[in-house]
Amino acid sequence: MALHTKEQLTAVIKSAGLRLTDHRLAILATLARVKQPVTVYELVDTLRKKENIDQATVYRNLTSLHEAGLLRRLDFNHGHAHYELETGEASHQLVCNSCETVEKIEGISIDSAVQKMLKRSKKFKNATTHSIEIYGVCKHCA
């Protein structure tokens, strides 16, 4: 689900059954532009450059957008969440244990591993998407 235009973002918000607000639209537009999962603090800093928005409003809207299935909430064991648009596609990240740098890796398929996991599962029939975090040390910290 590549979203680029204001009209596409507007349609997605409305189709999720949410009321269209300037703040929700600004949050989704910002997340559509960035290539990495971002923290609330990074999102607030970016939004404040153009919008009159406070941190509590961002938190409330992130919760609503996540509950509506429009955002993916990622926990990298840093004590705070990261957010990205929910695209329905797999999400893979490398995470530095030292400086908390996150790098999203695209173009790598682990579909065969997912299929093997489902074959071994006694409780699941299929997977709709997945997210993998691999922890280590980045080149800067090594």
CATH at 72: 1.10.10.10
- Token pair for residue 63? 């919760």
Domain holding 63, by residue range, is 1-88
Task: Please give the residue that has the higher pLDDT: either 1 or 77.
Answer: 77
pTM, rounded to two decimals: 0.81
pLDDT digits (tens, 9 = 90+) for 74-130: 988 888 899 999 888 888 999 999 999 999 888 888 889 999 999 999 999 998 888
Q: Which of 88, 112, 129 is the last residue of a domain?
A: 88
**Same domain, residue pair 96 and 141:** yes
| Mean pLDDT, the chain, integer | 91
Rg (CA), the chain: 17
Same-domain pairing of 141 and 102:
yes
User: Do 64 and 108 reside in the same domain of the chain?
Assistant: no
- 102-105 and 91-96 beta bridge pairing: antiparallel
Residues 58 and 95 reside in one and the same domain: no
